[in-house]
Every structure is written in structure tokens, then in C-alpha cells.
Chain A
Amino acid sequence: MLELTDVLIEQGDFRLSANWRLPAGRRAAVIGPSGAGKSTLLSAIAGFFPQASGQVLWDGRPLDGLRPGKRPVAMLFQDGNLLPHLDIFRNVALGISPALRLGAEDRARVEAALARVGLGGLDRRRPAELSGGQQSRAALARVLLQDRPLLLLDEPFAALGPALRFEMLDLVQALTEETGATLLMVSHDPADARRIAQDLVLVDAGTAHAPQPARAMLDNPPEALRRYLG
């Protein structure tokens, strides 16, 4: 379970508070106007941005002071999720061993992960030789191998067209169901949220609100969400 207890994030004049829990295995979309702090919230959970006060806990264990790589978190960013100078095999293998010291068993796991996301046989290609959708699949294959219980998506599919984006979201949903991972994803589009999220975290006016069931909230939006959805 992800727990944010009295978390306060400060950056100059910007303040964002959060005080809620997300049960293990749930999929939540983080939604709200630009500049409200959606990405900052994920950054704080991933360990890139220390909160001013409060605690981030996973399964009751505080994550404060842990480096990003040591947290039980896998994260995909808006861009730059693959190292352009490494082939797809190595990019994905970084999820098992950051030093890329791989045994025969590890290699088989990388191949299996690539096959699982539909990239079998493309392992010697460099990212630039893949389409945008294939690049996203490669990044998801690495997430699969990182095998972290919490997955954070900071709009990694924003540059894809709607059809391709839905395809990726379906893949994310399938992967999280297989691994039992908890998902927190930033989204601009209520259609994304409807498709994959069970819960919505509304970020607005300095507060990241507690997760609410997504469908009910979208069907009958509270005032702040209605303002955002227009």
C-alpha cells in the first residue's frame, strides 16, 4: 500500500499537500490542470524531489532518504526513457542489472520480456530505429523486468496518437494485472482514465485529493473536476 501522510511539497511559491492511501494493486490516474503539481507529486514519490514535510511510505516502510534507484518504484518519464546509444536488448536488460552483468538466465528473461511486449526479434535495434509505439513497448519491457511493486507513469505516451496510446494503456493494464503492481499515472485525458484507472487523484489548488472511484467521479464530477473538464 502507498501511503502519503501529511506530505507537503514546496518549491518557491508553489505548495502541494497530500494525505491519503492507495491500496496495493490499484490503478489510479492523477488528473488536474497544468501546473497543479501532478508531475511534482510523482517526482516526490519516486525520490527525485524531497518533500518539505510528511512521509511517503510503502507497506508501512518510510521511503525518505532512499535514492530513486533504491525505492520500490519504477517510473517512466515524458521522454528520454531509453538510452539512444544502447540497443533495445541492453536498454531492457538495465532493468535487471544496471551494470549489465547478465547471466544466461538473465538473457532469457530479457528475451521473454521483449517477446511479451511484442518486440521479439528487435533486440539488436537502437531506439532511433523503432517507431514511437515500439519505443514505449521497450520501456514497458524494462519496467516488467525491474519488477517494482509501484509503477509511476508521467505521461510517457503523450507523443503517441490516440489509438496507439490506448494500445499502450491496455498493455500497461495487462502487465500490472500480471505482476500485481500498483499504478499511479498522470493523465490529461479523461478517456485515458476511464480506460485503465479504477481511482482518480484530483490535483487542484494546492491539494492532491484522496483517490476516489474513477467512474463515479467522471460521471458525476465535483466542482473542481468539472472546471478542469470544461
Chain B
Amino acid sequence: MGRAIGGVASAALLTLLMAPLAAIFLRAGGASLPGPADWAALRFTLLQAALSALFSVLLALPAARALARRRFRGRAALVALTGAPFILPVVVAVVGLLAVFGTQGLLNRAAAPLGLGPFRIYGLHGVVIAHVFFNMPLATRMILQGWQAIPAERFRLAAQLDLPPQMTFRLLEWPMLRQVIPGTLAAIFAICLASFAVALILGGGPKATTVELAIYQAFLFDFDLGRAAMLALMQTTLVAGAAVLALAVTRMDGSGAGLDRALPRWDAPGGWRRACDALVLAATALFLLAPVVSVALAGLTGLKDLPATIWPAMGNSILVSLASALTTTALALGLAAGMSRVIQAIGLLPLALSPLVLGTGYFLIVNPFLVPGTLAMPVTVLVNTLMALPFCLRMLAPAYERVESDYGRLADQLGLAGLARLRWLTLPRMKAPLGFCAGLAGALSMGDLGVITLFGAPGRETLPLLMYRLMGSYRTEAASAAGLILLLLSFGIFWAFDRGGHHA
């Protein structure tokens, strides 16, 4: 039964992934080879991803170390804060970073009287700053997980032997870091390769265009579908290669079960090192909070400037988000029911395809028959579902296996099968992870600015797209207001589903 459902779900998933890829292959066949601009996009993509990974990890190291060895009030909140960027809408964060680092931002206003600046955030360093904003917290979680995986007994021994901090580092911490850092670098590198919204807003131009952004430009500026297909192939090779690399070297997933559990440490050095740790953590919190708080404050004053189109955009976003939450959870549950390593590997395949690649493929499939814009919402739901699927499956598959190993025999013995088994065993036993997954998928979809830019037509806007258009017409206050609403909706839907899973 479960096996059959898993088979059907994985067949459906393979079709949804392979059909757009096939369409791209067919279209790219007659297209030209990559030109100088395309190679430049490839170089920029690799460069920004490498720098983003490097700086994310460099900044994460002291923060993770401080979180690992200090005990203080608010530590759990700070750890939770490092999980927040995962569901923070990219457009909201970028508007927030502009408010802090932009031409009119806090940084420049503080620096101007000192005769410094003005600093500019557009171009390579802007893209890298935004990626570091999103991925430095992820790196912190992955490295902190490594720190907490060092047995407490070893630190007790180090304290007993009165090892100086350098020796503790050399004997206990460095061996762990040597294992954890490559995986963290690889994961962030892979994530940044597929970056679209950040490059769309902060990049652009011949010097700062990612491959993902070049696909979009091939569509919108040139309507050169052959070039878009060729770029999509280039991007797939890149992302798939990096995903394989990341999976191969990553040992920890950063999901961070139990990261807020404070293990006792006896070796934490005092004095200036203590002050440094406090400074690092304060700077980290400021870096993560300032942009979001800026958006929220600017948004409050901008609420009156919002156009009337905010209402249909909100409606569309909520519908897309709820639909994505439902389809992602259902598909992931179906795949989990297969209880097979092969099916779980198939569930990871979307990691190899970027949103705009899928969007290009679906566009090529739909274009001969329909005006693609009419399918803007369904395609957005579909791509959002595929993108959230690997994360949800990684959570649901072990949960499903546990339910089956704990109660499968009892259910078999009682003849509990089909829908009755789903209703009386699977759903109630899995409601917490299911709620978390639905919340995650809903929030990711709510904040997504991706394929909708390819398919979006007037009147078919989601909230992130409206926000982007408001920014494009320099209505910063209105964009911040839309950002504030988007922020509340994204975290609200996550909170509602997650809580629903715990209290249903």
C-alpha cells in the first residue's frame, strides 16, 4: 500500500522534473553556443557563490564558537533567530539591507559626517552581503551543531587538565571544524549558485549577472527562448554538480535538533575573550535584526501609500502559499510512504534544478498552447512545491518510518489499511512534522520571487512581485509596507501550521 503510493508519487515527481528538462533540451538543440555575455554570467555566478560561502563561514565561526561556549539569557532566542532567514522572504531582506547599507541607508548616514563613503550596495559586494545575510546564520547552525557534537566529557577533561584555550582548540575543536567546514562551504556555494531574487535587485548589468538572472533577461528583454534554454542547461549542470558535491561532503544538515540545549562547559575562558564573544554575538544579532526592523519601521509609515492592487496580490499570495503547503506536504508524505532509499533519493532531485530552469521548461511546454501568463499561479505553486519538497521529505521520511516501526505491526494485525490507516494512525502520529512541513512550504512559497517574474502578467501579481515592482518605480515606502505585510504573512503562516501540528 505505502509502497504503491510511494511509487506513484515518485513517478509523478520524475515526470514533473523531467518534462521541463526535456523541453529545454529540445529547444536548446537548435540554439547558439554561449556567447561572451553568457560566459561572463557563469564566471560571476561562480565568483559570487564562492565569496558568499567564504564570508558566511568566516563570520559564522566566531558566532558559533561563542554560542557553543557561553551560557546567557536569550541564547535560545539567538539560536532561533539564526533559523529565521530560512523563511524570510528574499525581497523583504533585500529591502531591509538597502535600508541599512543603501545610498540613503543607516550606514552611509552615519559615515557621511566622518567624511567616509558613500558606500554603494549594488554589484558584486551587494550580492555577497545579501547572501551572507541569508547564509551566515545557516553556517552558524551547521558549525554550532558540530561543536555540540563534541562529547561533553572531552571538555570536562580539558577543564580538569586546565588546558589553555589554544590547546582546547587544537585538540578538540579544530578536528571537528576540519570535518564540518567543507560541507558548510559546499552547501552555501550550491545555494548561492541558484540565487535569483538577490541578483535581480542588487545585481544586473554585464558585470553582475548570475546565470539564473541571465535566463530571466533572455526571456524578458530579448524573448530569446533558445538562449534561455541554453542558459538553463548551463545552470542545471552547475547546480546539479554543486548539489552532488554538497551532498557528498556535508555531514550535518543544519536542521539543528536540540541546538537550544545548553551543554555545560567548564573551559570557557574569561577576560577579554569573554568580551569578544559578547561583541561577536551582539554584532551578529544586529546584522540579522537591523534590516528586518528597518523594513518593519519604514513599512508602518508607508502603509498609507500602498496601491489598491495590494489586495488582489495578498489574495494571490495566500492562495499560492496554502496550495503549495498542501501539495508539498501531500507529495512528501506520499514519497515517505514508499520507505525506500531510491525514492528518497528521487525526492532530492529538485535540488539539482533551479526555479528559473523549471520555469523555463514549463514556459516552453505551455507556450505553444496557451498564453503562459494565464498559468502564472499554478506554475508558481508547482515550482514552489518542487523547491520545498527535499526539505520536507528529509523531515517526513524518518518520521514515517518511525510510525511504521512503532505501530506498523499493530496496524497490520488490526487490518488498519488505506484511508483508515492514514486517518487513525499516520496523520495523528505525524501531525507535528506535517505541521512544520506545511508551515515551511507555505512560508517559502509566500515569500518566493522566482518563476512568477517569467509568468506574471498584470492582474496576476503575488505580493513579492508587487513589492519588486514598487521598488522598481522608486516607491520605497510603499515597497516597505508591502514588505511588512509579506513578512507578517510568511511568519504567520509558518507559525499557524507549526502550532496547528502541535495542538491539533
Enumerate chain A interface residues (CB-CB to B < 8 A): 46-48, 67-70, 73-75, 77, 80-81, 83, 85-86, 90, 94-95, 98-100, 142, 146
Asked, given contacts A86-B424, A100-B420, whether A94 binds B414 with beta carbons under 8 Å apart, the answer is: yes
Asked, given contacts A46-B413, A48-B412, A69-B413, whether A85 binds B420 with beta carbons under 8 Å apart, the answer is: no
Q: Which residues of A contact B425 (CB under 8 A)?
A: 83
Q: Does B4 contact A (CB under 8 A)?
A: no
Q: Which residues of B contact A47 (CB under 8 A)?
A: 412
Greatest chain A CB density within 10 A among B412, B421, B425, B429 is at B412
Q: Given contacts A68-B412, A68-B413, A99-B420, could you give 8 more A-B pairs where the C-beta distance is less than 8 Å?
A: A47-B412, A68-B415, A69-B412, A69-B417, A73-B413, A75-B413, A95-B414, A100-B420
Greatest chain B CB density within 10 A among A46, A47, A81, A83 is at A83
Asked, given contacts A68-B413, A75-B413, whether A80 binds B407 with beta carbons under 8 Å apart, the answer is: yes
Write the nearest CB–CB distance from B399 to chain A, whole angstroms.
Answer: 14
Q: Is A67 in contact with B412, judged by CB distance below 8 angstroms?
A: yes
Give the dominant DSSP class at B's interface: helix
Q: Is B428 in contact with A86, judged by CB distance below 8 angstroms?
A: yes
Interface residues of B in 405-456 (CB under 8 A from A): 406-407, 409-410, 412-417, 419-421, 423-425, 428-429
- Please report the C-alpha to C-alpha distance between residue A64 and residue B176 in the assembled complex, in whole angstroms: 53
Partner of B410, one of A67, A70, A83, A90: A83
- Please report the C-alpha to C-alpha distance between residue A134 and residue B52 in the assembled complex, in whole angstroms: 59
Q: Is A74 in contact with B407, judged by CB distance below 8 angstroms?
A: no
- Please report the C-alpha to C-alpha distance between residue A81 and residue B411 in the assembled complex, in whole angstroms: 9
- Please report the C-alpha to C-alpha distance between residue A47 and residue B414 in the assembled complex, in whole angstroms: 12
Asked, given contacts A69-B417, A70-B415, whether A80 binds B429 with beta carbons under 8 Å apart, the answer is: no
Question: Which B residue sits closest to A84, measured CB to CB?
Answer: B429
- Please report the C-alpha to C-alpha distance between residue A109 and residue B421 in the assembled complex, in whole angstroms: 22
Count of residues in B whose CB is under 8 Å from the partner chain:
18
Question: Which B residue sits closest to A152, measured CB to CB?
Answer: B413
Q: Is B424 in contact with A80, judged by CB distance below 8 angstroms?
A: no
**Would you give 19 A-B contacts (Cβ < 8 Å), ordered by A?**
A47-B412, A48-B409, A68-B413, A69-B413, A69-B415, A77-B409, A80-B410, A83-B407, A83-B424, A83-B425, A83-B428, A85-B429, A94-B416, A94-B424, A95-B414, A98-B416, A98-B420, A98-B424, A99-B420
Write the nearest CB–CB distance from B403 to chain A, whole angstroms.
Answer: 10
Greatest chain A CB density within 10 A among B409, B413, B424, B429 is at B413
Write the nearest CB–CB distance from B288 to chain A, whole angstroms.
Answer: 37
Q: Which residues of A contact B421 (CB under 8 A)?
A: 98
Asked, given contacts A80-B407, A85-B429, whether A100 binds B424 with beta carbons under 8 Å apart, the answer is: yes
Asked, given contacts A83-B424, A83-B425, A86-B424, whether A98 binds B413 with beta carbons under 8 Å apart, the answer is: no
Write the nearest CB–CB distance from A50 to chain B, whole angstroms.
Answer: 13
Q: Which residues of A contact B406 (CB under 8 A)?
A: 80
Question: Which B residue sits closest to A74, measured CB to CB?
Answer: B413
Write the nearest CB–CB distance from A87 to chain B, whole angstroms.
Answer: 12
Write the nearest CB–CB distance from B414 to chain A, whole angstroms.
Answer: 5
Q: Which residues of A contact B409 (CB under 8 A)?
A: 48, 68, 77, 80
- Please report the C-alpha to C-alpha distance between residue A63 and residue B412 in the assembled complex, in whole angstroms: 15
Give the dominant DSSP class at A's interface: loop
- Please report the C-alpha to C-alpha distance between residue A73 and residue B413 in the assembled complex, in whole angstroms: 8
- Please report the C-alpha to C-alpha distance between residue A70 and residue B425 in the assembled complex, in whole angstroms: 19
Enumerate chain B interface residues (CB-CB to A < 8 A): 406-407, 409-410, 412-417, 419-421, 423-425, 428-429
Q: Which residues of A contact B429 (CB under 8 A)?
A: 83, 85
- Please report the C-alpha to C-alpha distance between residue A48 and residue B424 in the assembled complex, in whole angstroms: 21
Write the nearest CB–CB distance from A165 to chain B, whole angstroms.
Answer: 21
Write the nearest CB–CB distance from A186 to chain B, whole angstroms.
Answer: 15
- Please report the C-alpha to C-alpha distance between residue A77 and residue B405 in the assembled complex, in whole angstroms: 13
Question: Which A residue sits closest to B406, measured CB to CB?
Answer: A80
Q: Which residues of A contact B407 (CB under 8 A)?
A: 80, 83
Write the nearest CB–CB distance from A70 to chain B, whole angstroms.
Answer: 7
Write the nearest CB–CB distance from B425 to chain A, whole angstroms.
Answer: 6
Question: Which B residue sits closest to A142, measured CB to CB?
Answer: B414
- Please report the C-alpha to C-alpha distance between residue A75 and residue B406 in the assembled complex, in whole angstroms: 15
- Please report the C-alpha to C-alpha distance between residue A181 and residue B410 in the assembled complex, in whole angstroms: 20
- Please report the C-alpha to C-alpha distance between residue A69 and residue B420 in the assembled complex, in whole angstroms: 13
- Please report the C-alpha to C-alpha distance between residue A161 and residue B421 in the assembled complex, in whole angstroms: 33
Q: Which residues of B contact A90 (CB under 8 A)?
A: 424
Q: Which residues of A contact B420 (CB under 8 A)?
A: 98-100
- Please report the C-alpha to C-alpha distance between residue A167 and residue B419 in the assembled complex, in whole angstroms: 37
- Please report the C-alpha to C-alpha distance between residue A146 and residue B445 in the assembled complex, in whole angstroms: 47
- Please report the C-alpha to C-alpha distance between residue A67 and residue B407 in the assembled complex, in whole angstroms: 16
Q: Which residues of A contact B424 (CB under 8 A)?
A: 83, 86, 90, 94, 98-100
Q: Is B417 in contact with A98, judged by CB distance below 8 angstroms?
A: yes
Write the nearest CB–CB distance from B431 to chain A, whole angstroms.
Answer: 8
Asked, given contacts A48-B409, A77-B409, whether A98 binds B415 with beta carbons under 8 Å apart, the answer is: yes
- Please report the C-alpha to C-alpha distance between residue A217 and residue B428 in the assembled complex, in whole angstroms: 48
- Please report the C-alpha to C-alpha distance between residue A78 and residue B412 in the assembled complex, in whole angstroms: 16
- Please report the C-alpha to C-alpha distance between residue A95 and residue B417 in the assembled complex, in whole angstroms: 13
Q: Is A85 in contact with B412, judged by CB distance below 8 angstroms?
A: no
Query: Which 3 A-B pairs give the minimum distances between C-beta atoms?
Result: A69-B415, A99-B420, A85-B428
- Please report the C-alpha to C-alpha distance between residue A195 and residue B413 in the assembled complex, in whole angstroms: 27
Write the nearest CB–CB distance from B419 to chain A, whole angstroms.
Answer: 8
Question: Which A residue sits closest to B421, measured CB to CB?
Answer: A98
Partner of A69, one of B414, B419, B423, B428: B414
- Please report the C-alpha to C-alpha distance between residue A164 and residue B410 in the assembled complex, in whole angstroms: 23
Question: Which B residue sits closest to A46, measured CB to CB?
Answer: B413
Q: Which residues of B contact A74 (CB under 8 A)?
A: 413
Asked, given contacts A86-B428, A100-B424, whether A81 binds B412 with beta carbons under 8 Å apart, the answer is: no
- Please report the C-alpha to C-alpha distance between residue A142 and residue B413 in the assembled complex, in whole angstroms: 12
Question: Which B residue sits closest to A148, measured CB to CB?
Answer: B413
Q: Which residues of B contact A86 (CB under 8 A)?
A: 424, 428
Write the nearest CB–CB distance from B502 to chain A, whole angstroms.
Answer: 13
Question: Which A residue sits closest to B431, measured CB to CB?
Answer: A85
Q: Which residues of A contact B414 (CB under 8 A)?
A: 69, 94-95, 98, 142, 146
Write the nearest CB–CB distance from B48 to chain A, whole angstroms.
Answer: 48
- Please report the C-alpha to C-alpha distance between residue A122 and residue B420 in the assembled complex, in whole angstroms: 24
Q: Which residues of A contact B419 (CB under 8 A)?
A: 99
- Please report the C-alpha to C-alpha distance between residue A67 and residue B412 in the assembled complex, in whole angstroms: 8
Q: Which residues of B contact A85 (CB under 8 A)?
A: 428-429
